[in-house]
Chains A and B, each alone.
Chain A
Amino acid sequence: MKKFVFSTPMGEKKLFLLSWASPVMIVLLWEVYCRFGLIGPEILPPPSKVLLAAITLAESGALLPDLGISLKRAATGWCIGAGTGFLLGLAVGFSSIARAVLDRSIQMLRAVPFLALLPLVIVWFGVGEGQKIFLVALGVSFPVYINTTLGIRQLDPKLLEMGSTQRLTTYETIRRIIFPGALPSILMGVRYSLATAWLALVIAETIGASAGIGFLALDAREFLQTDVIVLTIVIYAVIGVCADAAARFLERRLLAWHPNYSPKR
């Protein structure tokens, strides 16, 4: 298959540099505006001060434990949510009975913005760890569920026919045809779910946390420490970007056979 590429007078490397030039320029402008007093420190601190806040906080030993607690919440919630979504997706993808029983209810639940459940979740779990992990798990399970069922349903029936004429057992059919065939879609769900996991965590941590990145932001708000507030936002962003990069890495490794994911030849 021939790849369609817009013609450009610039090389790959130059384009890559250019793509980084604009964010760097924005940070520089931000710094300059703050330094000249065009933006007051109570509105937005200069990037240098945010960096300084990061170093001071890290040295005082407050930043890393909070970061660790947030990561642990996200990881636990993600594992529970993605696991549930994946298993339900497999069941509904494979069995028409499971689909009849489960799919409509799940689709109806999905129509509810999961953050709208927050007050109810607080009533159930209080404002402890349970509430935060549950909210993350809830947000994560839907994209994984939907993309798993979709991946299985979109399988080419001709490949399944071929599998039956090669006399594959049910287990072999799942392992060698259905699962790899559904994998691109499943991994897409994983990538979406990582984004929802962060969204859920930010909301959950902003309500009655006593540790974690969200707590750090809340605490800073009380004392109008805009540098710490911006720092927490930057940390959320960096972790989000890292999670997405990890998911992309998985895609490149597991989908090397796929023309859309393979490295350029």
Chain B
Amino acid sequence: MTMAEAVPAALGPGVDRVDGRPKVLGAAHYPSDVTLPGMAHAALVRSTIAAGSIVRLDTARAADMLGVLTVITHENAGRLQKGKRNLFFPPPAAPLQDARISYHGQYVAVIVAETRQQAAAAARLIEVTYDRDEPVLTLDDAAASSQSNPYFIDMKRGDAKAAMATAEVTVEGTFTTSPETHNPLGPFTTVAQWHGDTLTVYDSTQNPFHVRAVLAASFGLAEDDVRVLSPYVGGGFGAGLRSWPHTILAALAARVVARPVQLSLTRPEMFTGVGHRPSTMQRLTIAATRDGKLVAIDHEGTSTASMGHEAPTRKPPTRKAPLQSLLKAPDEQPYPITAGTAAAYACPNVAARDKRVRLNIAPIAHMRAPGEAEGNFAIESLLDELSYELGMDPIDLRLRNYAEVQPQTGLPWSSKALRECYTVGAERFGWAQRDPTVGAMRDGRWLVGYGMAGVTFNHYQAKCHARATVHRDGTAHVCSGATDIGTGTYTVMTQLAAEVLGLPVDRVEFELGDTRLPQAPQAGGSGLTTALGSAVHNTCVALVQRVLTLVSDDADSPLRGCTIEDVVAHQGRLQHADDESRGETYSEILGRHGLSELTVDGDSAPSRAEAGVIVGSLVVSRLGRFGRKLVGASHATVPAGGFGARFVEVRVDPELGVLRIARIVSVNDAGRVVNEKLARSQIIGGTVGGIGMAIFEETVRDPDSGRVANATLSDYLIPVNADVPDIDVVFVGGPDPANPIGVKGVGEIGLVGVAAAIANGVYHATGRRIRSLPITIDKLL
């Protein structure tokens, strides 16, 4: 049985979201829609200092307010255990355990009341007296402790320093990006309910099994005694990948008042409570020959992270062994910026290093293309500078250094259509019409700039489980405990199951968002479609196999003795591939065997090459040419993530500093596109996020207090419709052989490269090289 023989009607551009109708009808219940009998409401009090400790908490007035059930502070919260160590998704410090404050916005009290309004009103009456320490709030604060190689994935090949020394052309620059806040539309909400010692939680999360693990650890429960439900999540952008203190506090509050409790974050709380994209600073040098051959890249990236509750504030930098500090200061998420640098171009000498600086700021979180977006901005901006230095077209420069094989390991890619991204994009955009002279293109008062950037995105796949059932009525039910954060997981998985089972899409129901279902990884890293889609595919294949086993010696079945290679599935029917008249329906088979249904469990796992690429890259880093020989002897293939090219036309009013984006062409190699409409939506959404990163988004902190100064959707700017031009999304390339469904993730790649392409367009229009995001009016005046 092969894909080509399966039902094409299940795939293609025209399949609407299966969750569209319930969402439009209001029948899709997000966590904030969950109402349970007897449910109380919680509100939070946040610290108004960034470092120090609580001296006194006066809760009397709040406790006396109408409707207030309880006030929980560190003085009465009781002990909560910290979640198990997790390198990717470090659990939060257990909330309300002591008087120490390590960031502005840290929770200091929870009020539970009959209504949300009562809880919020009472929260304003809590008076907190602090003993304030001087906080460490910026990268350049001398008191900030900086950690080198914090994630152990610094990479090098060749000798970048030596190559720089003799290079014909060198360009360098310092690039900065601002902290950003995810701001999914749906405020994160937890509804918690206890039944004895078992806990049920409805939560806004992209990672329900992680939430389950953290809650179980917090309250000393077995994981099976915690159930996390998240069938609908109002967006995430990465904010839902970690577990957050408010989720623990909702469960704590529910236990204290012995009633279900709903806790819904306010928009300002969303700016400190569910992570943010950290600010970064990058120093980058690129050296090349006169004819445009790259000879060396030296890239150092520094990102900020929360001080962490375990670490005392204002601690002098320590020289602890990095491994120890990584494992012992585990409450921040790794945030490498230069991790993709070694894989981007065929350059013989590369050094890529990361640093982390810990500050008195709220915890960070991965946000759509974390690190990739920032690293790409620096690399693709500086390559543009190099193209001007060389007098070479920026596309030609990139093609001149095209990485035919994965450049760090020397191993072949599983697939790569980046060349097509450039050529197709240039054609559709009309790149040939570009006059490369700075400031040469005008439209009335507007200076016109064309900018482009290339993208090489990392591959990611995690282990995933699924379950598939075919019913006697000819319908199927497929499930896995993943989440659909609005990306289309429900729809795509329904399609993939329907494809294998040979059922119309409306005969397949896909269920997700419940930790009682088979375990799935987070909706993150652009890896869920690959992991879950492969699991669904494998499980459905196993189900067909199971059906064939049922009839393997069934004299009444025309499929007797058939193996899976012999059959195709079509319209609810299994039939011989070479004679469609010889077959029967699922209903007929199950009916004859007296079965109401047939269920199988299945899974998918990343290939060994997944981890092998990282290991191989590090081996080359450490052992140089010898390492490359070792890695080459593995004859492995590098599973490729997506590739892309961005083409942007900007308009700049030079007198007023006003920058507008006129049009964007986004070309992506996304492997096999299962649902073009949804994939296109993902790329468009990513592009809009890229516009935000490039010209609007910045979480501003007060320099003295560390308070987020623009924590509303009126003050924190994201693009509105009027800022978003026509976005031409094109897919190139074909199915990727690294996974059975041929896909590559599209959740993040759309964002990557947009900022650099815009900045490069601004330079082309104005001659001003802006290396600091966002590019606002004041920078262009």
The judgment on whether A and B are partners is no
CB within 8 Å of A: which residues of B? Answer: none
CB within 8 Å of B: which residues of A? Answer: none
